Amino acid sequence: MAKIYFKNKDGLKLAGILEKPKSKTNTCIILCHGATVDKEEDGIFTDLSRKLSNAGFATFRFDFMGHGESEGDTINTTIKGEAQDIDSASKLLISKGYKKFGIVAASFSGGPASYFVLSHQDKVKALIYWNSVLEYKSLLKRWIAEGNEQRLKEKGYIIRRRTRYGKKLIEEVSELRPWKELYKIKIPVLFIHGDKDSSVPYEQSVKYSKMIKAKLETIHGAEHGFHDSKKHSDQADRTTIEFFSKVLNDNMKIYLIRHGETTGDVEDRYGGDYDDNLSPKGVRQSKELAKKLKGKGIEIIYVSPRIRAIETASIVNKSLNVKLKIVDDLRERNNYGILTGLLKSEAKQRHPEEVKELGKGIHHKVNNSEDYVHFKKRIMKAFKKIANDKEHRTTAIITHGGPIRCIIREILKAGELARDLNDCAILTIKKDKSNLSIVNLDGAVLAYKQIGKPKVMPKIIKDVGFDFDWSSRKVWALDISVTTIPISDLAWHFDVHFWNKPDGGYYDLTPNEVLADPQRYKSEYDRVLNCDMKHPIDIMENKGRLLILDGLHRLVRAKLLGMDVVKVRKIPRTAIPQILK
């Protein structure tokens, strides 16, 4: 947590506090306080900042001009002036590397935040109105009526909670109507308001949330600012964090799950499209699965329409109590055609040629079976739709062995399973922006075999690459001194296909291609922009060149920054035994 001073457009010094999470982020939540208070919002923003930091967000709370520790006089406060103060705060944060913002606009700052967001929707990606004012004329009229008429005539200002506000503001509100601008705000918006608010009518948030079809979270029994009860402030905080986590977090977690044991498994039948029930053991497995998934933050379960999958999902959902959605394209492949449902011993006698045909692999032509290409298309379509769901950040898919193998093979490009999936196996998949990766396996083992036509490693990679496989973590753990070398000593890396193109590329993308077309290769380019330059590049002499063990993205960023030298650690070849996987 650091106190920062910065200047607004009029050259006045404003005070703010930047609170960072433990992990690096380029997203910052700007907290805008109401009238007559400061950046701590009577302690409410202090607590909210801590909770947002724990949730992985940076926060910046600051004093508007004339408030708290900031320079200036509140008598000069205007709505447009506070909007410009928010703009000054955002420019400060951009200079510190933040690229994406959320806004919490408390009470009086609803109008200033609205005007700021209108022209900055490329950077501001979410807006929350905390019991916000969007109709100022009636508010100022009430303030004036509270013993301020004579003071306004004689001295040109009114006093509200020992804070002076001048004619500039009063004249401004006769012209400004922030609520009329709400239609132009296209980013996600949430209203949070207490239904017992005596300062800003709750009905205003009801009206405007309906007008723009935004969600309204009602804090039942809460007064203005949620100061009256810890229960109320906790609810407002929790709702705020959940909203930002859904809207601003690019990461997504998908739990890909096989159903429990079935009656067909016990009877040793050919399954596939056979619609059997869970066995007693399968029911027990599903109950254990529910225990494993409890507390994972799963928001929705997508499930195959087959009975065994629905039974598994229903048992799990007794514990999770979330939305359950049946997706027809998640059904198992009709892999066995005329063999479906037959005992395997019976099938050998009745259809020996078809059983033999099964041995040809995934592209077999068993009579009446589903073609693999068709199966692959529907599974990929269903999975990609789920993975691109913007509403839910943690999901579960309960399906079958065939779809799971297809997803591993065709979407994740992780090869094949070394053995059959266990009943109720769980694959945890992380989506980071557009990149999908398996981060945990429970009940599944990958063999990493190539399917179909093998991918050929380019000759240049074979020629210059290491002849051993190393662990980056073991490299990082080495106690090696840091030095500097000219970037030109490593420049040859820029034209070698060390990276992979999207959609299944394999050593077919050079750093220079990424720099030449950052929009096309956005995922790799973002990794370059977001890499941590405080770490040195780890290099080793190999086949007459200095080859990077770890830090190619840092080297590319150094080129972007126009650096002539880079920090490196030269790892001796004698350290190879220490870094082997």
Checking if the pLDDT of 545 tops 60, the result is yes
Checking if the pLDDT of 122 tops 90, the result is no
Evaluate whether 2-134+179-248 and 253-442 have a shared fold: yes
Sheet containing 251-258: which strands, arranged edge to edge?
A: 323-326, 300-303, 394-399, 251-258, 426-432, 435-442
- Matching CATH number, 2-134+179-248, of 1.20.1050.10, 3.30.750.24, 3.30.70.580, 3.40.50.1820: 3.40.50.1820
Are 226 and 233 within 8 A, CB to CB? yes
pLDDT digits (tens, 9 = 90+) for 308-367: 999 999 999 999 999 999 999 999 999 999 999 999 999 999 999 998 888 787 888 999
- Matching CATH number, 459-579, of 3.30.70, 3.30.420, 2.130.10, 3.90.1530: 3.90.1530
Give CA–CA dist 226/129, Å, rounded.
13
pLDDT digits (tens, 9 = 90+) for 196-252: 999 999 999 999 999 988 999 999 999 998 988 899 999 999 999 988 887 887 678
CATH topology of domain 253-442: Rossmann fold (3.40.50)
Q: 471: which 2 tokens?
A: 């662990």
pLDDT at 439: 79
Checking if the pLDDT of 424 tops 90, the result is yes
- Closest by CA to 428, choosing from 440, 437, 417, 416, is 440
pLDDT at 455: 52
In the chain, % helix, strand, coil (3-state, to 5) comes to 40, 20, 35
Q: Given pLDDT bands bounded at 50, 70 and 90, which one contains residue 451? A: very low
- Closest by CA to 425, choosing from 280, 286, 279, 283, is 286
Mean pLDDT, the chain, integer = 89
Residue spans per domain, the chain: 2-134+179-248, 253-442, 459-579
| Beta-bridge partner residues of 104 | 31, 128
Q: 138: which 2 tokens?
A: 């009636």
- Closest by CA to 495, choosing from 551, 556, 554, is 556
Q: Which residues contact 581 (CB under 8 A, 6 or more apart)?
A: 469, 470, 471, 474
* CA 220 remoteness from chain centre: 30
| Beta-bridge partner residues of 215 | 190
Q: 180: which 2 tokens?
A: 């009329």
pLDDT digits (tens, 9 = 90+) for 361-399: 788 899 999 999 999 999 999 999 999 887 787 899 999
Give CA–CA dist 259/282, Å, rounded.
8
pLDDT at 464: 81
Three-state secondary structure string covering 283-333: HHHHHHHHHHHCCCCCCEEEECCCHHHHHHHHHHHHHHCCEEEECHHHCCC
Checking if the pLDDT of 91 tops 80, the result is yes
Give CA–CA dist 472/138, Å, rounded.
62
Coil, helix or strand for 511?
A: helix
Average pLDDT (285-304) is 91
